[in-house]
Structure 1
């Protein structure tokens, strides 16, 4: 696999985006951030994909954040800072607003922009030895308002204040208590538990998942900017679908449904 890239593969209803720069704990380069929107769209456009996974290559890190070695060339000067921040914001927004459910699968280090990227996902699962940190206050950089807003929407002001003001390292127990992750498992159990969960999601009705995901997106926005009509249209599509009939039939026949997304 090429280094300093995000790899894509899809199988069994699951699209996996793998952050790959293992020599730097999967730190994200400018080009990697820039590639995220197209990769998310690829997963959205693939009718076989039911759930999108973000994960890090190897077993040491999900993502250590931005590749700081690029900051001298890529994030110095007003224009360069704007271009870099625009690429990061677009990558974060693509994951947050993905039309399909997103899951961060975290092994090990999850720091800085990597932690923020994980938080854009709908769900976050981690190994029990994972560590989380947003060290902006130790680097002297200004942390973007859009990321702060996203984090507050996900976690609440109190947890975000703790995470950002202290810039401390959180263990998995802290991460679960503050809402940074949904579940943590031991390394030994992690792969099996995550794959079982992803398999459950991949077997669910795609149209229902799309309606739920759009509801989550709209609820994350200020009330004045929410579009409940868009959600209602997706809900109506569920009730008009072949899958709705299949779900009822499978329930009555006491078998697993076979959904086709129509």
Structure 2
């Protein structure tokens, strides 16, 4: 059954997109479940980072499950509802107070591309491929989606990806900033585990303050809530973790942070 499976281990919540027979294409119901899954990870004090990944080796996510379009996108009202549930799912990851990281193997197309770009970071295997095929399907690409891509990739790469609908190989994706880190299949699992362990061992309040700043910087300048960033930074300096970090430095040991 198509679903997004929720797992936790070692301070990391994993949202596993599971519909392998369709290259992990996302159904309407899967998009709708995303905000609740992100909220679950946010509420779990043991979780320091949220990972989104696809089940199996062939795909991160091939995009929306097109087999549902006849039912879910057959009228203006239905299309609006579908676009809204997609936007809310992506916004939940982009707006999470904890870092969100896409771990990508294989195909990352369409809605899967948008989902990955909604995460703070993207770690990919070097056989991954990326594409926004809207122009080959006759779909209108949402304004907010275009704005987000321009913010993260720039005007030129975004225009190219949307107008050409071409497939981008992993090495070019790294150059364009679509992915942040890229490893061979032999190194991928080990490197990803080490990177996630590094992130999840850091001070939670500092991670939250960084994420708060990134969220505000992604907004138009007139809409930014700088006070919320300053409050998050102040919470770091008032925390027990700040004292722990200093003591661990003096003791030449690894800090053990509690998030308090």
Deviation at 1:47, TM superposition (A): 0.4
Structure 2 SS opposite 1:81: helix
Consecutive unaligned residues of structure 1, counting only runs of 5 or more, are none
1:11 Cα deviation from its structure 2 partner: 1.5
Aligned equivalents of 1:92 and 1:205: distance in 2?
25
Unaligned runs of at least 5 residues, structure 2: none
* Rounded Cα–Cα distance in structure 1 between residues aligned with 2:97 and 2:156: 29
Aligned residue pair count: 260
User: For residue 94 of structure 2, what is the aligned residue in structure 1?
Assistant: 96
Which of 207, 219, 222 is the aligned partner of 2:220?
222
Match runs of 1:151-190 below 5 Å: 151-190=149-188
CA shift digits 1:181-211 (9 cap, x unpaired):
0111111100000000000001000000000
**Corresponding residue for 1:39?**
37
Q: Distance in 1 between matches of 2:107 and 2:79?
A: 25
Q: Distance in 1 between matches of 2:225 and 2:87?
A: 22
CA distance in 2, matches of 1:243, 1:177: 36
Shift of 1:26: 0.2
For the residues of structure 1 that align with 2:138 and 2:62, how far apart are their CA atoms? Answer: 17
Distance in 2 separating the partners of 1:119 and 1:47: 25
TM-score (norm 1): 0.99
Tell me if 1:10 matches 2:28.
Answer: no
What is the aligned-residue RMSD (CA, Å)?
0.5
Out of 121, 124, 127, the position equivalent to 1:123 is 121
User: Pairwise mapping of residues 16-31 of structure 1 onto structure 2 (< 5 A)?
Assistant: 16-31=14-29
Distance apart, 1:234 and its partner CA: 0.7
| Partners of 1:17 and 1:157 in 2: CA distance | 30
Deviation at 1:162, TM superposition (A): 1.0
